A and B are shown apart, each in its own frame.
Chain A
Amino acid sequence: MTAEPLLKLAAKMLAKHRLDAVLIGNAAAALQGAPVTTEDLDFLIRRTPLNVRKLRKMADDIGVSLEQPFYPASHLYRMVKRAESLQFDFMVQIAGIRSFEGLRSRASLVEFDGYPLRVASLEDVIKSKAAAGRDQDLAVMPILRRTVKERDAMYRAAKRARRHA
């Protein structure tokens, strides 16, 4: 199923509420070209009281409640609307990633409906999945590494072609 409506909604809401977030996980990997699937969109945000307030306003705007399913074990904020297959998870920290700023600086910027969405680099997704080490993370590692290899080979081929042109 296409994630386009959800990506458009997320990009629009993040811009409207001025929430600085980076798309991570399998959704980011898929946008970076990896043939993987997911049920939700995961984001990394800075852990500030202002951002939590922004998340609450964003949830109100979408018409969902903001849940903290694993509190206090984890500071995960979740928005769910089952009828529309909407699940947005906002995390304040993820395994393998030291700082939000670093992740943000390496992310790609994609536009959906004119709204920008930051997408984590494939290398960062791989790093976080390797550090998390859950079965579902390790299962997609070969395909993510293969995608990096194919992408790099395509870049090299394009560079060679430009040089010979």
Chain B
Amino acid sequence: MRNRKPSVRRKRRMGWREALRRESDRARGEMIRGKLALPMAKRVGFLRVRLPDGSGSHV
């Protein structure tokens, strides 16, 4: 089996994907730290409302 080197385009795509993963990870950590910085009684924005068509909303 031939061991092909990844093409430049593929390498670039992998780089973008990795950057996106890191950015998403960083944003998630920031969101959690923001919540943890609040007192417990203020972490109340978590209710999802059930809409008449059966779907959910964060309104």
Contact = CB atoms under 8 A, between A and B. Distances in A.
Interface of A: 1-4, 6-7, 26-27, 30-39, 82, 85, 108, 110-112, 119, 143, 146-147, 150-151, 154
B41 A154 contact: no
Contact of B46 (A3, A110, A143, A150): A3
Interface residues of chain B: helix, strand, loop or mixed (majority): mixed
Interface residues of chain A: helix, strand, loop or mixed (majority): mixed
A38 B32 contact: no
Q: State which size class the interface on B falls in.
A: 20 to 34
Interface of B: 28-29, 31-33, 35-36, 38, 40-41, 43-50, 56, 58-59
A34 B2 CA distance: 47
A38 B35 CA distance: 16
B45 A33 contact: no
